[in-house]
C-alpha cells in the first residue's frame, strides 16, 4: 500500500478475487471528478484467506472506504463491527466504511437495482410477479430491496434447491416469497419481472428456460453485463420480451450509493452509465 498519498486525498478500494476486470475504479473516479474531489480508488486482488489482513493493512494506510466483491461479501460481513439493517437481512456487505478503528458494513446492491429499474427504466415494481433465478450473493443482495419496493410475489428458483429455500425463509414472508424447483419452471406461469442472478454465463453456460415464463410487457433483467448477459437476454428476446436490461445500470447505481455513504454526496450516474454502455456496444459491434 502506498505511503505517499497526500493527506487530503481520500483512499478507497475494491477487494475481490479476481478483480482486475472491475469497473468500480473507473466509476468512482468519474464520480469524484464530477464532485470536484481527488480520490484514490484501487482494485486489490486478495485471496479469501488474506482478506482480513488486507483490509487491516488498507485501513492502517489511511483507507476510509472499501467495496467488496466476489467472493468476499459474506466473509467481509463477518469482519464488520457494525452492519446496516439491510446488510443484516442479506448476510453480506459490499460497502465498508472506516469509523474510528472499526469497519461498518452496508450493502448497496439492492438499492442499486431498484433505482436502476424504477428511475432509469421507469419500471414500476409495485404489484409485480417476479421470478428470481439464482440464490447466491447477488440474489440475496437484491431480494429484500425488491420486497421493500412492493413486488407482489417473489418466486426463487436455484440450481441447488436448498439455497432457494434458505433465501425464501430468510425473507420471512411465506405468502409473498417461495422457492420452486428448476424442473418445475414450465408450470410456474407468467412473470412481470424476470431476473437472472446466476453466474451461469461466466463459465459459458446457458440456462434452460421455457418461454412460458415471459408475461406480456415483462421486463427481463440480467444482473451480469457485457458478454455474460447475452444468452439470457437473447432468450428473452426470442420469447417476445421487448423490455430487456443487463446489470450495468445496477452496477453504476450501487456504486453511487456507496459513494454517497462515504462522502455524503450523491453523484449523478447518467454520464458514466452512457459512457460504459457506449463502450459495451462498440465492443459488441467489433465482434
Ligand atoms: P454466487 O457465486 O454467490 O452465486 C452464483 C449463483 O449462480 C448461484 O445461485 C448458483 O447456483 C448459480 N449458478 C452458477 N452456475 C450455474 C449454472 N450453470 N446453472 C444454473 N445456476 C448456476 O455469485 P453472485 O450471486 O455473487 O453473482 C451472480 C452474478 O451476478 C455474477 O456473475 C456477478 O457478476 C453478478 N453481479 C452483478 C452485480 C451488478 O452490480 N450488476 C452485483 C453482484 C453480482 P448454485 O447455488 O446451485 O451454485
List pLDDT tens digits, range 153-207: 999 999 999 999 999 999 999 999 999 999 999 999 999 999 999 999 888 888 9
Task: Compute the distance between CA of residue 158 and CA of residue 89 in angstroms, rounded to an integer.
Answer: 19
Report the percent of the chain where pLDDT is more than 70.
96
Cell of 116: 436502476
Find the helix or strand (DSSP H, E) in which 150 lies: none
Our mutation pick for probing the ligand 1 site, out of 134, 233, 276, counting the most ligand atoms within 8 A of Cβ, is 134
Percent of residues in the chain assigned helix, strand, coil, to nearest 5: 45, 20, 30
Spatial strand order in the sheet of 63-68: 39-45, 10-16, 63-68, 95-99, 102-106, 82-83
Region of poorest pLDDT, from 57-71, 113-127, 201-215? 201-215
- Domain extent, residue 11, equals 2-107+250-286
Nearest-5° angle of CA 226, CA 227, CA 228? 95
For the chain, give the number of residues.
Answer: 287
Nearest-5° angle of CA 106, CA 59, CA 32? 65
User: pLDDT confidence of 84, banded at 50, 70, 90?
Assistant: very high
Task: Compute the distance between CA of residue 165 and CA of residue 220 in angstroms, rounded to an integer.
Answer: 23
223 lines ligand 1 (CB under 6 A): yes
Q: Is there a single domain that holds both residue 132 and residue 194?
A: yes
247 lines ligand 1 (CB under 6 A): yes
Q: Is there a single domain that holds both residue 221 and residue 242?
A: yes
Q: What is the CATH number of the domain that holds 159?
A: 3.40.50.720
Q: Is there a single domain that holds both residue 114 and residue 242?
A: yes
Q: Is there a single domain that holds both residue 35 and residue 148?
A: no
CA distances from 69 to 3, 23, 209, 220, 263 (A): 25, 11, 28, 24, 20
Our mutation pick for probing the ligand 1 site, out of 111, 138, 280, counting the most ligand atoms within 8 A of Cβ, is 138
Is 285 a residue whose pLDDT tops 80? no
Gap from CA of 201 to ligand 1 centroid (Å): 9
Residue 124 in contact with residue 107, Cβ under 8 Å?
no
Is residue 268 helix, strand or coil?
A: coil
User: Which region, left, alpha or beta, applies to residue 189 given φ > 0 means left and ψ of -120 to 50 means alpha?
Assistant: left
Is 287 a residue whose pLDDT tops 50? no
Atom of ligand 1 nearest to the CA of 247: 41
Sign, CA torsion 228/231/235/240: positive
Is 131 a residue whose pLDDT tops 90? yes
Q: Is there a single domain that holds both residue 125 and residue 230?
A: yes
Q: Is there a single domain that holds both residue 82 and residue 165?
A: no
Gap from CA of 246 to ligand 1 centroid (Å): 14
Q: Is there a single domain that holds both residue 57 and residue 119?
A: no
254 lines ligand 1 (CB under 6 A): yes
Report how far apart the first and last C-alpha atoms of the chain are (Å, whole number). Answer: 38
Q: Is there a single domain that holds both residue 173 and residue 86?
A: no
Query: Which residue puts its alpha carbon closest to atom 43 of ligand 1?
Result: 138
pTM of the model: 0.95
Q: Is there a single domain that holds both residue 90 and residue 29?
A: yes
138 lines ligand 1 (CB under 6 A): yes
CA distances from 59 to 3, 20, 64, 79, 264 (A): 12, 21, 7, 13, 20
Q: What is the CATH number of the domain that holds 60?
A: 3.40.50.10860
Q: Say what the alpha-carbon torsion angle 144, 111, 95, 248 is, to the nearest 10 degrees.
A: 120
Task: Compute the distance between CA of residue 14 and CA of residue 99 in angstroms, rounded to an integer.
Answer: 18
Q: Looking at the chain, which runs of residues are DSSP E strands?
A: 10-16, 39-45, 63-68, 82-83, 95-99, 102-106, 129-133, 153-157, 177-180, 191-196, 214-222, 243-245
- What domain count does the chain have? 2
Please list the active-site residues.
Answer: 73
User: pLDDT confidence of 286, banded at 50, 70, 90?
Assistant: low
Query: Which residue puts its alpha carbon closest to atom 19 of ligand 1?
Result: 200
**Average pLDDT value for the chain:** 95
Q: Is there a single domain that holds both residue 58 and residue 174?
A: no
40 lines ligand 1 (CB under 6 A): no
Gap from CA of 126 to ligand 1 centroid (Å): 25
Query: Which residue puts its alpha carbon closest to atom 8 of ligand 1?
Result: 136
Q: Is there a single domain that holds both residue 241 and residue 258?
A: no
Q: Is there a single domain that holds both residue 195 and residue 103?
A: no
Atom of ligand 1 nearest to the CA of 138: 25
User: pLDDT confidence of 7, banded at 50, 70, 90?
Assistant: low
Residue 1 DSSP code: -
Gap from CA of 196 to ligand 1 centroid (Å): 8
Amino acid at each position: 500500500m502506498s505511503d505517499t498519498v497526500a493527506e487530503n486525498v481520500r483512499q478507497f478500494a475494491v477487494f475481490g478475487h479476481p478483480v482486475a476486470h472491475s469497473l468500480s475504479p473507473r466509476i468512482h473516479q468519474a464520480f469524484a471528478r464530477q464532485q470536484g474531489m481527488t480520490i484514490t480508488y484501487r482494485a486489490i486482488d486478495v485471496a479469501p484467506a488474506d482478506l482480513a489482513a488486507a483490509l487491516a493493512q488498507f485501513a492502517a494506510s489511511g483507507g476510509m472506504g472499501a467495496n467488496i466483491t466476489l467472493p468476499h461479501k459474506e466473509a467481509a460481513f463477518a469482519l464488520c463491527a457494525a452492519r446496516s439493517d439491510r446488510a443484516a437481512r442479506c448476510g453480506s456487505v459490499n460497502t465498508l466504511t472506516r469509523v474510528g478503528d472499526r469497519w461498518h458494513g452496508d450493502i448497496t446492491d439492492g438499492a442499486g437495482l431498484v433505482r436502476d429499474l424504477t428511475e432509469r427504466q421507469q419500471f414500476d415494481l409495485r404489484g409485480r410477479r417476479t421470478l428470481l433465478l439464482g440464490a447466491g450473493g447477488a440474489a440475496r443482495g437484491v431480494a429484500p430491496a425488491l420486497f421493500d419496493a412492493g413486488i407482489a410475489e417473489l418466486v426463487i428458483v436455484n440450481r441447488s434447491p436448498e439455497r432457494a429455500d434458505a433465501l425464501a425463509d430468510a425473507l420471512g414472508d411465506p405468502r409473498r416469497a417461495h422457492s420452486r424447483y428448476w424442473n418445475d419452471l414450465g408450470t410456474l406461469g407468467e412473470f412481470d419481472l424476470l431476473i437472472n442472478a446466476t453466474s451461469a454465463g461466466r463459465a459459458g453456460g446457458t440456462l434452460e428456460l421455457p418461454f412460458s415464463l415471459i408475461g406480456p410487457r415483462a421486463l427481463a433483467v440480467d444482473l451480469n453485463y457485457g458478454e455474460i448477459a447475452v444468452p439470457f437476454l437473447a432468450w428473452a428476446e426470442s420469447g417476445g420480451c421487448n423490455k430487456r436490461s443487463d446489470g450495468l445500470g445496477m452496477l453504476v447505481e450501487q456504486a453511487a450509493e456507496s459513494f454517497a455513504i462515504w462522502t455524503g454526496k450523491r453523484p449523478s450516474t447518467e454520464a458514466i452509465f452512457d459512457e460504459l454502455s457506449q463502450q459495451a456496444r462498440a465492443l459488441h459491434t467489433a465482434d
